[in-house]
Amino acid sequence: MFEHKNKLVDGFTKKYGLDRLIYFETYQYINDAIKREKNMKKWKRQWKIDLIEEENPTWKDLSKDWTYFQ
């Protein structure tokens, strides 16, 4: 998050100015997380928006609650 917020690494998030964490999932095993991410990339945009709004209807930056960013 620090790198994204401070635009330290070139890439998609820097190019498009994306610096808010609006949704995340946690997994015990990295392979499960990768599988989920690859699956979600196939989803329609509206399905992703619906998922976000179900958990975070105001699109609040969830990283603001993490003490090391304040």
Cα separation of 25 and 16, whole Å?
22
Determine the straight-line distance between the first and last CA of the chain, rounded to whole angstroms. Answer: 12
Q: Which domain holds residue 10?
A: 2-69
Would you state the structure tokens that stand for residue 47, as one six-digit string? 């399905």
For the chain, what percentages of helix, strand and coil (3-state, to nearest 5) are there?
55, 0, 45
**Number of compact structural domains in the chain:** 1
List pLDDT tens digits, range 1-59: 888 888 888 998 889 988 899 999 999 999 999 999 999 999 999 999 999 999 999 99
